[in-house]
Amino acid sequence: MLPAQHDSTIIRSIYDHSLSQSDCFKNLEILCRNYPKRLAGSPGAASAVEWTKKIMDDYGFDSVWLQPVMVPHWVNIEKERAAIMNADGSKTEVTVCALGNSIGTGPGGISASIIEVKNFEELVALGKKSIEGKIVFYNRPMDPLLINTFEAYGGAVNQRHAGAVEAAKYGAVGVVVRSMTLNLDDYPHTGAMRYDDTIPKIPACAISTIGAELLSNELKNNPSLKFYFRQNCGMQEEVLSYNVIGEIKGSEHPEEVIVVGGHLDAWETGDGAHDDGAGCVQSIEVLRIFNELGMKPKHTIRCVMFMNEENGLRGAKEYAKVADEKNEIHVFAVESDAGGFVPRGFGLDGPDSIRNKIIEWCSSLEPYGIHAFYHWGGADISPLKEQGCFLAGLAPDSQRYFDVHHAATDVMENINKRELELGAAAIAALIYLVDKNGLK
């Protein structure tokens, strides 16, 4: 019985510290206030890298360093404009934003007939004759019936990722994608789209859900109406950027690494408070908690601020590549990239034998509301899986995430201090359990 009691005491200390002396909220305020625009390659990202390194240095982690990585540099220069062109010659403005990685429309914008579809199969059925020269409007909503909103996102997001490529195959001149949110509101939600070098590149934007509903209704009345949008954005030369890394050296297995991370880059629509400022400050906080409570980990614990998760994953790939080159052994990696909401459990991605052990250990986190276990890790740590690293992801309650995801609402005002702190504590407690018990 003694070891279990000891665990519960340590875990209680972690939570006590988090709920009374955490720097999470303060650090996230600084990050969002001073570095709100920090998409990979931007000056804001460069400043955020410097600041993040400085706070890790100031916390006195055993080592802090920058890991260079070349990143894409997508820029979005002017406020986007869009309107429904009514039959009577009037215009109804609607709210859009450029999709990340999209080309611009040119200064004159694009004006064309618009055709609504719900999925790629409809494109096939319509064929080139119906689509050529038009804008394609993807309007399949996220499914509100799914309890976990990430599943609903997964079921809709191919419209944003691949919509331009699929529509361009049939000669479309642009795409407008319904924003990835369950809310009916007037905030457009951006996010990455991608081109295929063999298919013509056409501009892509996201329309707010209110705009999407309006447009869809207008199209019912007048299927031949035209749509206009203008955006001034595009990809520039690649830029040298960095992953920011801090670590506490392990006392027994310094050569075995446990990673905890989030991504420092964020879409320019909001301040990246939940996505993923929260994950960054929580990851730093985990190491800080170990130091503050005098907990000496057996394994090396490393926090990583990955660069360029949003539109390239270059930081993640570089981190894994360097780890490979250096023959580093990564035993466990936890990512926090699902928002700073109240934690409900973890994604756990790896062999069932280990997964079941971790779930058993996590019974000591039940009094703290940890009860749900999924089968995923996270995008930035995913390249480590090949090396046999067991992956985990913080699973906060998902209900509010897509209210703010990639939108102007992803700001500090929508962060709850305690929820953020409980997330940091949950990750610290999980890492404590894994570090202490080992995964072998």
Map the footprint of its own copies across residues 367-406, applying CB under 8 A.
367-369, 371-372, 397, 399-400, 403
Nearer to its own copies, 40 or 348 (CB): 348
Q: Which of 125, 147, 221, 353 binds its own copies (CB under 8 A)?
A: 147
15 binds its own copies (CB under 8 A): yes
Map the footprint of its own copies across residues 182-241, applying CB under 8 A.
182-183
Contact call for residues 25 and 33 (beta carbons, < 8 A): no
Give the shortest CB-419-to-its own copies separation in angstroms: 5
> Of 39-47, 170-178, 279-287, 364-372, which part binds its own copies (CB under 8 A)?
364-372
218 given a catalytic annotation: no
Nearer to its own copies, 116 or 419 (CB): 419
Give the shortest CB-347-to-its own copies separation in angstroms: 15
Q: Which of 53, 344, 405, 406 binds its own copies (CB under 8 A)?
A: 344
Contact call for residues 82 and 111 (beta carbons, < 8 A): no
Which of 198, 216, 191, 220 has its CA nearest to residue 102?
191
Q: Which of 90, 144, 197, 294 binds its own copies (CB under 8 A)?
A: 144
Neighbouring residues of 261: CB distance < 8 A, sequence distance ≥ 6 = 279, 283, 303, 304, 305, 306, 333, 334, 335, 336, 378, 380, 381
Q: How many residues does the chain have?
A: 440
Q: Which of 210, 342, 354, 379 binds its own copies (CB under 8 A)?
A: 342
Return the DSSP state at 387.
G
Alpha carbons 216 and 146: distance in angstroms, whole number: 23
360 binds its own copies (CB under 8 A): no
16 binds its own copies (CB under 8 A): yes
Which of 257, 407, 245, 394 has its CA nearest to residue 315?
245
Give the shortest CB-396-to-its own copies separation in angstroms: 11
**Residue of 256, 285, 309, 419 marked active site:** 309
409 binds its own copies (CB under 8 A): no
- Helix residue ranges per DSSP H, 155-277: 158-168, 209-221
What 3 state SS string does 289-354 have? HHHHCCCCCCEEEEEEEECCCCCCCHHHHHHHHHHHHCCCEEEEEEECCCCCCCEEEEEEECCHHH
Residue 238 corresponds to which tokens in the numbers above? Answer: 């690649």
Which of 106, 111, 113 has its CA nearest to residue 136?
113
145 binds its own copies (CB under 8 A): yes
Nearer to its own copies, 113 or 399 (CB): 399
CA distances (Å), 390 to each of 12, 329, 334, 377, in order?
25, 11, 9, 8
The angle subtended at Cα 147 by Cα 143 and Cα 152, nearest 5°, is 35
Residue 170 has φ and ψ, to the nearest 5°, of -105, 15
Map the footprint of its own copies across residues 156-185, applying CB under 8 A.
182-183
124 binds its own copies (CB under 8 A): no
Give the shortest CB-359-to-its own copies separation in angstroms: 14
6 binds its own copies (CB under 8 A): no
> Of 68-76, 119-127, 140-148, 353-361, which part binds its own copies (CB under 8 A)?
140-148
Report, as residue numbers or ranges, the catalytic residues.
309
Q: Which residues contact its own copies (rule: CB under 8 A)?
A: 15-16, 19-20, 144-145, 147, 149, 182-183, 342, 344, 367-369, 371-372, 397, 399-400, 403, 416-419, 422
